Structure 1
Amino acid sequence: MARIIIVACKRIQDVTCVSCMKCFKGMRERVGEFARYQNEPLELVALGDCGDCPGLVMPKLVLIRDLAKLLDSDFDVVHLGTCIVKATKTAKCPIDLEATARRIKEILGKEVVIGTHPW
Structure 2
Amino acid sequence: MKKTNKIGIFICDRYRRCAGGKCFKSLKNREGAFSRYKDMNVEVVGYTSCDGCPGGNIEYAVDEMKANGANVIHLATGLIVGYPPCPHIVYFHDYIERKYGLEVVYGTHPIPEKYLKMHEKLGTWNNDEWQGIIGATMNDEKMRLAYN
Gaps of 5+ in 1: none
Q: Deviations over 1:31-64 (max 9, x none)?
A: 0000000001010011011011122243233xx4
Distance 1:92 1:36 in 2: 23
Indicate how the Cα distance of structure 1 residues 91 and 102 shifts in structure 2: closer, same or farther if over 3 A, else same: same
8 Å Cα contact 1:76/1:111 also seen in 2: yes
Quick one: higher RCO (CA 8 Å, sep 6+), 1 or 2? 1
Indicate how the Cα distance of structure 1 residues 54 and 34 shifts in structure 2: closer, same or farther if over 3 A, else same: same
Distance 2:66 2:104 in 1: 17
Count of residue pairs the alignment pairs up: 108
Alignment counterpart, residue 10 of structure 1, candidates 4, 8, 13: 13
8 Å Cα contact 1:65/1:74 also seen in 2: no
Question: % of aligned pairs identical?
Answer: 31
Indicate how the Cα distance of structure 1 residues 51 and 60 shifts in structure 2: closer, same or farther if over 3 A, else same: farther
Match of 1:101 in 2: 93
3-state DSSP class of the match of 2:14?
A: coil
Deviation at 1:92, TM superposition (A): 5.6
Structure 2 residue 13 is matched with structure 1 residue 21: no
Instruction: Please list every run of at least 4 consecutive aligned residues from structure 1 whose deviation after the TM superposition is greater than 3 angstroms.
Output: none
3-state DSSP class of the match of 2:44?
A: strand
Computing the radius of gyration from Cα coordinates, the structure with the larger value is: 2
> How well do the aligned residues superpose, as a CA RMSD in angstroms?
1.7
Alignment counterpart, residue 84 of structure 2, candidates 70, 91, 94: 91
TM-score with structure 2 setting the length: 0.66
Bigger share in helix: 2
Alignment counterpart, residue 76 of structure 1, candidates 64, 71, 79: 71
Distance 2:97 2:85 in 1: 24
